[in-house]
A and B are shown apart, each in its own frame.
Chain A
Amino acid sequence: MAQLVGPLRKELADSLSSCRVLVVGAGGIGCELLKNLVLAGFKNIEVIDLDTIDVSNLNRQFLFQKKHVGKSKAQVAKESVLRFCPSANITAYHDSIMNPDYNVEFFRNFQLVMNALDNRAARNHVNRMCLAADIPLIESGTAGYLGQVTVIKKGQTECYECQPKPTQKTFPGCTIRNTPSEPIHCIVWAKYLFNELKTERGCLFGEEDADQEVSPDTADPEAAWNPADAAARATASDQDGDIKRVSTKEWARSTGYDPVKLFNKLFKDDIMYLLTMDKLWKKRKAPLPLDWTEIQQIGEEACGTGLKDQHVLGVQGYAQLFRRSVETLRSQLIEKGEGAELVWDKDDPPAMDFVTAAANLRMNVFSMNMKSRFDVKSMAGNIIPAIATTNAVIAGLIVLEALKILNSDFDQCRTIFLNKQPNPRKKLLVPCALDHPNPNCYVCTSKPEVTVKLNVHKTIVQALQDKILKEKFGMVAPDVQIEDGKGTILISSEEGETEANNNKFLSDFGIRNGSRLQVDDFLQDYTLLVNVIHSEELEKDVEFEVVGDAPDKAPAPSAPEEEKNIANGNKDSAQPSTSSKAAEDDDVLLVDSDEEPSSSTMEASPESSNRKRKHCDADTDDAASKRKRLDQQPADDDDDVIALD
């Protein structure tokens, strides 16, 4: 009979103590994972995390105590683990995994990599590094009561990017600026407004991000009785700042950020302007402007029990909060001096106060029920609720998958879903067979290729680099060559080399319909061929489209099935992102456990995704040999399909 070392066969126990593993992330899943690894007998562990400890982590990241707040997660995690297992050999990195120091050679040091991340950008990156190094990767994610684990192995399974993940839900500009109908629209507006006000720079309207305008959108096609009218209004407003609209920021500066004047502009004047666009209000309830002086007459409401943050104030209360926060932010700006900028942070009280107040005032204007600071913070900060037990279960499953890999039982590896309630087949934990790689994947196939539709006369090189290659296609340091017979270099990852190109249009380089770009990310050992299609008919607010992507779907408004949906219907769960940058978010059940960053963290926002699991395990009939190869899909019905919306 087999010789056991504890619960394991000796060979397996030996390979555990000699192998080297990398844990990416030392947060909710990471803490639990490190503990499980050392208790299971793993000896050589490296852990990396760029984040520092926050008090809100302490309800689940049990390797940290209150006295550790502000310190490096990776470092403290290592120290805490060593206390109960001093013989473990742990190396901690307080760093970003996307740092070029962690190249393919670095990854090749390990027999196994385990992600414990909370954002898509890092997941994409580690996915590629593990493909390049040909190292098995265990992916995982949790949100609230739900969780998931899966295994990625080059050539044998889907990689993390084989299935397109829906991009972050964004709202059309006119909804934000003219016709909000839900609290989230008002919250997004308030965050944009913050960005409008935060900087002292004397640039024009929306220089930080042209996508974040807050004043009434005169070019709203819905507002015009006839199309020519809309165009005329738009032109009129652009032409002469004197006549129609100046930038909110300039205006604010010119009035010295006077809260009362700001209030009346945003919640009275701008609203009255919106009312003149009467077509918008034919079928919608018209907004009701507020007046500062009138509001002062309204009494403030009494508080109830419960968390202070969970109280919903009256309009007078939010008006006062608006004034106080503007005054505080103004002092912060002054203190910082010329050219200062404030960065929005949900954990910075006046910044959070400002968004709470502004969003609620706007909700009131548009006849929506106002929200507490607690709820606004959830939505504005993309907070995903998190508890210790979900992370504990998932981290346990990760180690069990790791054991299979190290035991060369790869055919036993599974994707496993953790539900909140058992499914009709009584399963709370649902193992599913791993899928084969997608032959059309733009990451893991041998010659990845994509087609992108954009306007070559309106897209600048910087946008190609940042919004398309980095954000959409997950590259960290792209090098771009035009396949024009001359090998013209469009973008170089070396700093400064191609800076002069940044603000030029693609057409300036002869890029047109049918052009091909060769894009390399040498860190990720990844080459992508981009076919360009020129189009002048992209939708408003859409800068580019990837041909073959499913169109963005809005979250389903109807009653969700809780086990299947992470981001719908439950007010506690994640809302569509309110961050200005596009998708740094997460998907499927490999969900973000983190929220909008403080300056030290990477961006992260939660999201939902569509994913049908077609091949979930039936109960094995053959109990006689648990080690039987299960590399064919079980002939099963669809009972265990989990559709995630």
Chain B
Amino acid sequence: PVERKKQSNIISEEEAAQYDRQIRLWGLDAQKRLRGSRVLLVGLRGLGAEVAKNLILAGVKGLTLLDHEQVTEESRRAQFLIPVDADGQNQAQASLDRAQLLNPMVEVKADTDAVGSKPDDFFFQFDAVCLTRCSKDLMVRVDQLCASRNIKVFCGDVFGYHGYMFSDLGQEHHYVEEKPKVVKGSNEANDGPEAKKPKVDPNETTMVKKTVSFCSFKAALEVDWTNEKAKNNLKRIPVDYFLLQVLLKFRTDKGRDPQPDSFAEDSQLLLQIRDDVLETMGLSSELLPNTFVSYCFSEMAPVCAVVGGVLGQELVKALSQRDAPHRNFFFFDGLKGSGVVDYFGSK
């Protein structure tokens, strides 16, 4: 954002008591940075609600919930923030009260506009942006807009048993890591004069500064698979990356995600898109076997919890500038229970 984040140096007693268990984990400095951060969260379905909960509990300064869609029975059952009598209301608006109650110290707002209709400068008020249920083009646009301004960009979705998270923390993301201090010199077995020196606390640690760079969402999705090197590496690539490409294409073409109501029709379309997408990339359809269609419909609540947990924690890390961020994709396969981090795009 344009203005620099101000760090208030005073943590109130109330905050200290409430955040005690997390301050003991990531330290007071990190908590202060969180406290100064404003986040935009787009999409309040299953995944969005999880991310909202995690950020609000962590204690960010402000969270804007943005969603233009209306509550339906299906969407209401997918998350825990919307009251039972809210069908027909705006999804962000309906989630607001319960979200705010999670932590009164956070400023939670609802915005009912479509994210695609927002002008560029709308995004500049935030330190981080998290996009769910957005089309590929929209994610590319927002990412391009934000990353150059040091606004951290995150994307994530859940499709049935599968989920992913992507992050673009910019060309130069600075963070610190806590490392144990290397204790040189005497140890207990040494009987020399050093043994009479006061003992160095073996638990002492030191903060190490690091910098890491990220590529754009566009670059991450447009990896060239036709060259030899890429082809040789294919075995180590999580198949979920290609599944994501297929599902994003479906979303662009149909304007929605695969729905149980149109299972037969959508399954056919998914298989066809798979063929098209992989062919365009110069790859075989066998890379993504047919069975995938059975497991990418709707949003599985436990998968939202897992992906939302990882995504939420990545946001916390990025905003607090503490601990190494995952680069740059996280894929979760709920059938296998495997969660993989991998980098796609120019390093």
- For the A-B complex with A36-B301, A285-B197, A399-B301 known, give 5 more contacts whose Cβ atoms are closer than 8 Å: A283-B195, A387-B22, A569-B202, A624-B291, A626-B291
The interface residues of chain B lying within 8 Å CB-to-CB of A403 are 302
> Shortest CB–CB separation between residue B267 and chain A, in angstroms?
7
**Is the beta-carbon distance between B302 and A367 smaller than 8 angstroms?**
no
Among A390, A569, A626, the residue within 8 A (CB) of B309 is: A390
**Is the beta-carbon distance between A557 and B202 smaller than 8 angstroms?**
yes
> Shortest CB–CB separation between residue B34 and chain A, in angstroms?
11
Once A86-B84, A429-B338 are accepted as A-B contacts, the answer to whether A386 and B22 lie under 8 Å apart by CB is yes
**Is the beta-carbon distance between A62 and B305 smaller than 8 angstroms?**
no
The interface residues of chain B lying within 8 Å CB-to-CB of A430 are 338
**Segment at the A interface, from B49-57, B112-120, B248-256:** B49-57
Contact with A along B290-319 (1 / 0, CB 8 A): 010011011111111110111011001000
> Shortest CB–CB separation between residue B37 and chain A, in angstroms?
16
**Is the beta-carbon distance between A389 and B312 smaller than 8 angstroms?**
yes
**Is the beta-carbon distance between B341 and A7 smaller than 8 angstroms?**
no
The interface residues of chain A lying within 8 Å CB-to-CB of B9 are 305
**Is the beta-carbon distance between B298 and A182 smaller than 8 angstroms?**
no
**Is the beta-carbon distance between B341 and A32 smaller than 8 angstroms?**
no
**Is the beta-carbon distance between B205 and A422 smaller than 8 angstroms?**
no
**Is the beta-carbon distance between B198 and A285 smaller than 8 angstroms?**
yes
Once A56-B20, A389-B309, A428-B340 are accepted as A-B contacts, the answer to whether A1 and B263 lie under 8 Å apart by CB is yes
Report which A residues bind B (CB closer than 8 A).
1-8, 32, 35-36, 39-40, 55-56, 58-60, 62, 65-66, 83-86, 144-145, 181-183, 283-285, 305-310, 367-369, 374, 378, 383-393, 395-401, 403, 412, 414, 416, 418, 420-422, 426-431, 557, 559-560, 569-572, 617, 619-620, 623-626
B330 within 8 A of A: yes
Interface residue ranges of B5-30 to A (CB < 8 Å): 9, 11, 16-28
Cross-chain pairs A/B with CB under 8 angstroms, 14 sampled: A39-B301, A58-B103, A59-B57, A60-B21, A66-B104, A309-B16, A368-B201, A396-B303, A396-B309, A400-B337, A431-B336, A571-B204, A619-B338, A623-B289
**Is the beta-carbon distance between B58 and A388 smaller than 8 angstroms?**
yes
> Shortest CB–CB separation between residue A477 and chain B, in angstroms?
34
Cα–Cα, bound, A416→B305 (Å): 15
Cα–Cα, bound, A428→B340 (Å): 6
**Is the beta-carbon distance between A306 and B302 smaller than 8 angstroms?**
no
Once A1-B264, A429-B339 are accepted as A-B contacts, the answer to whether A392 and B305 lie under 8 Å apart by CB is yes
**What residue in chain B is nearest A559 (Cβ atoms)?**
B180
Cα–Cα, bound, A400→B16 (Å): 35
The interface residues of chain B lying within 8 Å CB-to-CB of A59 are 18-22, 57-59
Cα–Cα, bound, A403→B81 (Å): 24
The interface residues of chain B lying within 8 Å CB-to-CB of A36 are 301-302, 305
Among A1, A427, A572, the residue within 8 A (CB) of B25 is: A572
The interface residues of chain A lying within 8 Å CB-to-CB of B79 are 39
Once A181-B199, A182-B201 are accepted as A-B contacts, the answer to whether A396 and B23 lie under 8 Å apart by CB is no
The interface residues of chain B lying within 8 Å CB-to-CB of A2 are 294
Among A8, A393, A560, A626, the residue within 8 A (CB) of B180 is: A560
Report which B residues bind A (CB closer than 8 A).
9, 11, 16-28, 46, 50, 53-54, 57-59, 74, 77-84, 98, 101-104, 160-161, 178-180, 182, 191, 195-199, 201-205, 238-239, 260, 263-264, 267, 289, 291, 294-295, 297-306, 308-310, 312-313, 316, 323-324, 326, 330, 332, 334-342
Cα–Cα, bound, A369→B204 (Å): 11
Nearest 9 pairs between A and B by C-beta? A429-B339, A396-B305, A385-B25, A39-B301, A392-B309, A393-B309, A396-B306, A399-B302, A7-B298
**Is the beta-carbon distance between A426 and B341 smaller than 8 angstroms?**
yes
Among B83, B103, B196, B289, the residue within 8 A (CB) of A83 is: B83
Among A84, A182, A426, A572, the residue within 8 A (CB) of B202 is: A182
**What residue in chain B is nearest A427 (Cβ atoms)?**
B340
> Shortest CB–CB separation between residue A407 and chain B, in angstroms?
11
**What residue in chain A is nearest B308 (Cβ atoms)?**
A392
**What residue in chain A is nearest B10 (Cβ atoms)?**
A305
User: Which of A308, A386, A422, A569 is most buried by chain B, counting CB atoms within 10 A of its CB?
Assistant: A422
User: Which of A7, A378, A414, A430 is most buried by chain B, counting CB atoms within 10 A of its CB?
Assistant: A7
**What residue in chain B is nearest A420 (Cβ atoms)?**
B323
**What residue in chain B is nearest A32 (Cβ atoms)?**
B305
**What residue in chain A is nearest B188 (Cβ atoms)?**
A181
User: Which of B11, B50, B305, B332 is most buried by chain A, counting CB atoms within 10 A of its CB?
Assistant: B305
**Is the beta-carbon distance between A388 and B83 smaller than 8 angstroms?**
no
**Is the beta-carbon distance between A5 and B342 smaller than 8 angstroms?**
no
The interface residues of chain A lying within 8 Å CB-to-CB of B336 are 431, 617, 620, 626
The interface residues of chain A lying within 8 Å CB-to-CB of B334 are 400
> Shortest CB–CB separation between residue B4 and chain A, in angstroms?
19
The interface residues of chain B lying within 8 Å CB-to-CB of A397 are 302, 306, 337
Cα–Cα, bound, A387→B312 (Å): 11
**Is the beta-carbon distance between A7 and B18 smaller than 8 angstroms?**
no
Cα–Cα, bound, A464→B323 (Å): 48
**Is the beta-carbon distance between B102 and A40 smaller than 8 angstroms?**
no
The interface residues of chain A lying within 8 Å CB-to-CB of B326 are 421-422, 428
**Is the beta-carbon distance between A7 and B161 smaller than 8 angstroms?**
yes
User: Which of B103, B332, B339 is most buried by chain A, counting CB atoms within 10 A of its CB?
Assistant: B339
Cα–Cα, bound, A374→B21 (Å): 11
Once A39-B46, A368-B199, A395-B305 are accepted as A-B contacts, the answer to whether A426 and B340 lie under 8 Å apart by CB is yes
**Is the beta-carbon distance between A559 and B301 smaller than 8 angstroms?**
no
Cα–Cα, bound, A571→B308 (Å): 28
Once A284-B195, A307-B16, A428-B330 are accepted as A-B contacts, the answer to whether A62 and B102 lie under 8 Å apart by CB is yes
Cα–Cα, bound, A609→B46 (Å): 36
Cα–Cα, bound, A7→B9 (Å): 47
Among A7, A56, A378, the residue within 8 A (CB) of B160 is: A7
